[in-house]
Structure 1
Amino acid sequence: MMDPQSFIGRCQVDEDIADPARFVRLAATLDHDQPPWLEGMVPPLGHWLCFQPDARHSNVGPDGHPVRSDTGLLPNVDLPRRMWAGSRVEFRREIEKGAAIRRVSTLVAATPKSGRSGEMLFVTVRHEIGERDGEAAIVEEQDIVYREAAAPGAPLARPAVAVEGDDEVVRIVAPDPVMLFRYSALTFNSHRIHYDRDYARDEEGYPGLVVQGPLIATLLMDHLLRQKAGRKIARYSFRAMSPMYDGEEMRLGLAYESGQARLRAIGPVGVAMTAQADFSA
């Protein structure tokens, strides 16, 4: 295992096509006949459906993630549990559907910490995405947390984050195993906590299938766009607060403050995710 600090500055370049069929399937997963996106353009957060992992099956670990190595982008540390904790996304310009696109990913931070749940590693990856040979249209800083393996038979503690204040617009959803499967298929995410109930319970200590963080963030973005169809988003950020499990009722809340959209997903024990968005002028 290498010092995670030695990975800082590593870069990886990926290329793809912004295939319109992916966004048709995203609209179906979000239950739209006519999605509230700009016609002909990649929808906000649609870039998460692109640049899918392509590790050979023999190079996939027991959790379903590609095996890390000393030569890869992400630090090779002995902390098996992984969570996408949040992102800060800047939408600088639109990307046309069908465009040839490129993503340049750079590891910009790798910070070890110790907490009540044991040793952790906080990693930040900066993604710059745009049409090939063009300027970046989307810039995202993605935060990933690596944690120790769960103790055998120990249930995973779920933080209870208090709900304060009221929301102006509320929508109720209950992500089920089918929605989780479809979103994992859209992103080619093979992490077993999202579809293998026995693994999620017995190996990682979850009581059910874990709703993907980016799916919750996408549901919040969709909640906003259902109210502001066609509006251009300049910036979007989210932070995961507490996990949600399949079948649980999720209350999507939206409020406006000083021209900014404030969003949150609320589950059985409180706030599961917070997000905010700024509109383009």
Structure 2
Amino acid sequence: MRRSGNKPPYLRIAREIEHRIDTGAFRQGDRVPSIRQVAAQWGVATATATKALDTLRRRGRVVAVPRIGFVVAGPPALPRPEPRAGHAGRTVRAPSTAAVKDRNSERERIVRAAITLADAHGFEAVSMRGIAASLGIPTMSLYGLIRGKQELAALMADTVFGELELPQEPPASWRARLELAARLLWRLYVNHPWLTRITSLTHPEPSPNMLEFGSWGMSVVHVCGLDPAAARTVWWAVVNHVQGTATNLETQHAMEQHTGLTPDQWYDLHLPAFRAELSGAPQLDDRLEFDLTAFFEAGLRLLLDGVSVQIGRQHRA
């Protein structure tokens, strides 16, 4: 076995800082020494100090917070033996069930506060400082529970997907099932327009509630009788139509605030210019009406009409 004294300096530094976290010298949300402080305290190069802190980050013991530095992410999930001489029999206990419940409850409070902020002011308004202010707690205390905005966004998305009420007995026909799935998803985006900012067709989050909806949706498509590849394409096309149309919801709200005009009023105001510039297009009515929900429904009908044609072709083949 390799003696601890022969370990590279960055590992010895990482272990000493980790020991301070385990013993409570550094608590959740506390700042740990900066790269410059580590270099000065342990007498090493800044590259070695950087490597030590990055080791702790990769182990999940600290997180890097912009303009603040590295802060403690939380205790380890499992008991860890105490390495110091004279304490061979001691271990750091795993968090109790009550502590885990309290931690989960606090995380849920943070996520719910973030959702409330996003619903009211958009995703750009969500920040650790804003959440902490709304909850009346120190900003630094959040970093021991949430590792940053990326993790927060994933938790927000999964939480709102948990609002979906999926029927135990869906409609019998494939078309009615897809219409239901699309409308459930559309209503979710209407209630939370910021959600389009943090959900991706190409990089979906493997989180429980989102996976449950995706699994339910794919099972819906399978009753179409299409081959698996075609069925996946149909489902992705439906999801993309909903999400793509929903990207306009947040923009519409911002434009209404900026201009003071609804979409119908905007079209009415600019109708003469539209007619002049679109002379080769179909004649525009005296009054143009544009409603995103109606547009979503019209697009869904066109999409499912195309699916119906594809199903008919495959059955005839």
Tell me, yes or no, whether TM beats 0.5.
no
Identify the structure with bigger relative contact order (alpha carbons < 8 Å, sequence gap 6+). 1
The structure with more radius of gyration: 2
More strand by share: 1
More helix by share: 2
